[in-house]
Amino acid sequence: MSAVLVIEDDDRIRLSLVLALEEEGYAAAGAPTAEEGLAAQRAEPADTVLVDLMLPGIDGFECIRQLRRTDDVPIVVISARDDTHDIVAALEAGADDYLVKPVAVKELTARLRALRRRGRTAAPDAVPVLRFGELEVSPEAGEVRLAGQRVPVTRTEFQLLCELADHPGRVLSRQQLLRRVWGYDGGDERLVDVHVGRLRQKIEADSSAPRHLVTVRGLGYKLAR
């Protein structure tokens, strides 16, 4: 049974989400503050964490950053804030996805299922190591290395990189990547753009002039050797 932690200060919303998730077959628990949620995740890690942005004390952005320092758990933001700046800031902090309140339970569970499929298990015919100069992607080991040094990436970043590495030199559109990585038919392309930006910070010597993870204007992204 997949476990979900809901970090939400509104008692009514938190309880309704926990109950709805339990009805869908999840083991759900709630925390009213980031501090309690972070402690709960350290004590008994959940498979997915839902985070509201407007939390008392430590806010949702900092909560995500603190989770990301030690944990690659999938993080979904659930917030009433739908401003582009807030969405991008949450994704840049390390969130994997973003839903605007009020959230339909069926949409939420569909997102959770997609996140769970986004694991580190290689396909049966996966090549052990995919090399792009000093960049190495190992689908079987679930590792990314740059000049021999392991690069810490989240599950979503890893899956995105694997998808591009599996099609070397081929341009994949944002919508193709949304379908293949996030499991969405249609969706917010900012998810792709922000995750590409985060990956570039990790795998490029100069993220402003990328050599490997390249933008093809008007078409999408490709991984070049």
pLDDT confidence of residue 11: 97
What pLDDT, on a 0 to 100 scale, did the predictor assign at position 126?
56
Domain extent for 182:
130-223
Overall domain count for the chain: 2
Would you say residue 111 lies in a domain? yes
Looking at the structure, do residues 8 and 107 belong to the same domain, yes or no?
yes
Strands ordered across the beta sheet of 149-150: 130-132, 135-138, 143-146, 149-150
pTM summary value: 0.82
Pair (74, 174) in one structural domain? no
Say what the alpha-carbon torsion angle 214, 184, 99, 210 is, to the nearest 10 degrees: -10
Mean pLDDT in runs of 10 for the chain (225 residues)? Answer: 94 96 96 98 96 96 95 93 90 93 90 74 62 90 91 91 92 94 83 94 92 94 92
